[in-house]
Amino acid sequence: VHFYYPHLGIPYVIADNLTGGYLATQHLISQGHQRIGIILTGSSLLELNQDFSLRLQGYKLALTQHNIPFHPELITVVDGEDERAEMGEEGFKRLMKLPEPPTAIFATSDYKAFGAMNAARESGMNIPEDISIIGYDDVKLGEYSYPRLTTVNQNTRKMGQRAAEILLFELEEDHSSLVKDEIVPTLILRDSTAPLSAKQRIRNS
């Protein structure tokens, strides 16, 4: 469950991280944002784990489908073993130092999103009027943050349910058939994202 090892040839159920990254980015694009920063976890862009690599692919796919230019400087990778708010703060500060900072940020975990929101408030920015921020994972705290965090829910309950169904009912005795399933995530709309404002257009014009 949750990880895919192609060389093992065993049944698996995973979250569709590419679609999740696409949904997050597509939502921001639908709000009029084109300069969208993304904060990833890894030691470098070439050393992302499976989940973050696929979320980045989803981000790129959404930009491509809307004919929005891809700007490498809008990708920031923060090193860390566990997801922490400090990583989001660091990623936010890097993005805001750009000559043309983003008007929206896709933080690829809710904890990084919380950190980005903290850094935005400390810099005097209002969310979502000055910057839209979307997270990933739909941790419980997101319902109570200020503003409440727009995020992507991985449908982990359904993932566990499908894994149990495969084990109980769908495996052949000879195990010759590979059973695999990807669970599509769900976009959770709350208050931390909003349409591109006139002030943001002027700032980036």
- Tell me, what CATH number does 46's domain have? 3.40.50.2300
Taking a C-beta distance cutoff of 8 angstroms, is the pair 73, 35 a contact? no
- Look at residue 2 and tell me if it is in a domain: no
Residue 60 domain boundaries = 10-203
- pLDDT at 180 > cutoff 90: no
CA dist list (Å): 103 to 19, 71, 100, 129, 189: 22, 14, 9, 10, 18
Mean pLDDT of the chain: 92
Mean pLDDT over 165-178 rounds to: 71
- pLDDT at 191 > cutoff 80: yes
Task: Please tell me what DSSP assigns to residue 132.
Answer: E
Mean pLDDT over 76-94 rounds to: 96
Residue of 63 and 50 predicted with greater confidence: 63
- Look at residue 179 and tell me if it is in a domain: yes
* H helices present in 66-197, as ranges: 85-96, 110-122, 156-165
| CB neighbour list of residue 99: distance below 8 Å, 6 or more residues apart | none
Tally of domains in the chain: 1
- Look at residue 94 and tell me if it is in a domain: yes
- Look at residue 24 and tell me if it is in a domain: yes
Q: What is the pLDDT of residue 175?
A: 57
- pTM equals 0.92
Q: What is the pLDDT of residue 174?
A: 52
| CB neighbour list of residue 198: distance below 8 Å, 6 or more residues apart | none
